[in-house]
Amino acid sequence: MNSAEIKLELFRKIDNLDNSKLEKIYNSLVGLLNSASLSESTMNQELKVALEEAIDASKKGQIHSHEDVMQKTKEKYSKLF
């Protein structure tokens, strides 16, 4: 289904709702859309901060090889491997 078909299907379903169900769906949908928008901006900010910290650590020489990280991970979480 392409986006136009999805929108049309949603419109048809919404158009068939009675007023009380329409209000509930509207409130739920708006809440979902708002939380998704907030989550993306929060996640983007958290990612930006994490990347900046990683870059700073790398510049300070605080780096580890993949092999070292995997070895320490296997030691700490041996039940996962």
Over residues 10-63, the pLDDT tens digits come to 999 999 999 989 999 999 988 888 887 766 777 788 888 888 999 999 999 999
pLDDT band at 8 (very low <50, low <70, confident <90, very high): very high
User: Rounded distance, CA 60 to CA 62, Å?
Assistant: 6
User: Rounded distance, CA 52 to CA 28, Å?
Assistant: 36
Cα dist from 62 to 18, 36, 55, 68, whole Å: 61, 35, 10, 13
pLDDT at 12: 94
Quick check: pTM over 0.75?
Answer: no
Per DSSP, which regions of the chain are E strands? none
Task: Tell me how long the chain is.
Answer: 81
pLDDT at 38: 66
